[in-house]
Chain A
């Protein structure tokens, strides 16, 4: 059975070019970049090149790039640094739909004396900007808002939000793990102070991430140890991972147009056809500005895990915001924050594409998914097909 992989917001395949670029650092070029000898030193040069490539994709300066181990480490570092360098300021502004790396950290901080404001979103997943503006206060240490949502792909106006924070002297961090490589980013012309990236979301391997810290931003390291990353992140460099991420950023720049034209067209085709074939289904966040690769579709009266397992029988890989999938008992916090009704949120499926998806794959999914939903609806005590006519207005 072939795999049809449409779960790229969870993780991506390592690009063949990336694989090729990183492999020598496991055998021939295994030196430690900190060593005094040429053998190790040559690796240091390559890391510098990788740093430049990452900086270029972000419109940043190479010195503003700190390599970390993952997106979560970058998020934790950014928020903890802001709190540590601004003692006395104990307020954090974030949103209700953040990734757990930010959300759970903030809940943890809230239990330890910090005040946390979670900005709500509307039914389409858009940030309540009025609420945001009002929440910025004298003692706000940092704002942390995701650039694009991992579950729905909905894009937040982070540049505007960052300008508002800056004008009040507040640090601004964005978790751009889902956005980088999918939409253009130019930090040189923005007010964003810190930004997180995860390698494995853009065709580099797992175990490498980046924290961008704008030049001149007060900073306290999270991982204390060696002089690596100019003392901003201790620990021997993950050389192969860093080289890989450099290459992946270079490729992402080259593929940006393809992502926003061909991949977007594939996503739109998938979405349009599933919605057409499956009555009482809807796109979560469909009315908002979204990433070109993500589609979060809810199917009324069925449960997500059952859909995933039946799709799995055909080798189709996707995710669900249903309670059962995660092991928690409630549907995704993102869909709940958007006010998606229970009848819809338990049956949500996220398809997330990449440049490696083809039109044949989209056609295959469009063919297989509708009968799966029909089959589960026949099993469901809540499914009343006779209501269909009213619901669709025909």
Chain B
């Protein structure tokens, strides 16, 4: 049995604003019978752009009914501009949270609101114009991208919880994975500016001095920077290192590792025999 909050139960057992606004000027219909839930939202917006009345009809489970009821309570009396900013997370929060598998109910609410507001302005909802990714539930790439962005989703399972996409035949899981990767890539902070050669050499010298040399010298060894060619760091071993048969391992596991950590992961250390 689902673990619903008291607020969800309250809005399910005694839904607010059920029905149809008779002289509605904004109507949003989303979902379908095949998908297992559907919501029809009717709005009456006055000439000043205030939402005067809002009513809903829902086919769906307890949390779908509660989400729709909550949505109407949230938007009544608000201006269209304020209503446009409502996110699915805010609908879920209004209800004290929803089980994660039921988050798509809050998304359905947000979609219905958008559809109704678009209808009011005589526009179309952009997300529906994307390409269908999930055939089973008719979910587009734009809808999936938006859910990922707004709710910071990282797995296919989460995308299914929020949008239903991927919850049927599972054939679209690879595509969903690609969309997640794409959105994540866009959101990654821009790569740090490329190191200039001078800066790179200085940083390598500093790292050798403070991070590498002290441990080598403990064992009576040392390393000297000979040259830097692109990402190739040419070094010569000194002292005990010069005769040590394990010096190659030291170069990789200590010198190169430290340079990766402190300078750049692209560096390759090479030993120069003199």
Query: Chain A: residues with CB nearer than 8 A to chain B?
Result: 301-306, 309-310, 313, 322-325, 327-331, 342-343, 346, 378-382
Contacts and interface: CB of A to CB of B under 8 A. Distances in A.
B59 A382 contact: yes
Interface in B118-177: 136-137, 160, 164, 167-168
Contacts of A325: 61
6 contacts: A303-B61, A305-B2, A306-B61, A323-B36, A342-B36, A382-B59
Q: Size band of the B side of the interface?
A: 20 to 34
A190 B38 CA distance: 50
Contact of A303 (B34, B37, B40): B37
A17 B39 CA distance: 51
Contacts of B160: 329
Given A379-B15, A381-B29, A305 B61 contact: yes
A381 B40 contact: yes
Given A324-B61, A346-B36, 9 more contacts: A303-B37, A303-B60, A304-B61, A323-B36, A324-B36, A324-B64, A328-B167, A379-B58, A381-B29
A381 B63 CA distance: 16
Contact of B62 (A305, A342, A382): A305
The 5 closest A-B pairs by CB, nearest first: A329-B167, A324-B61, A305-B61, A381-B57, A381-B40
Contacts of B39: 381
A343 B33 contact: yes
B264 to A, nearest CB: 43
Contacts of B36: 303, 322-324, 329-331, 342, 346
B57 A313 contact: no
B101 interface: yes
B244 interface: no
A323 B57 CA distance: 19
Interface string B37-68: 11110000000000000000111111111000
A381 B59 contact: yes
A309 to B, nearest CB: 5
B80 interface: no
B97 to A, nearest CB: 17
B21 interface: no
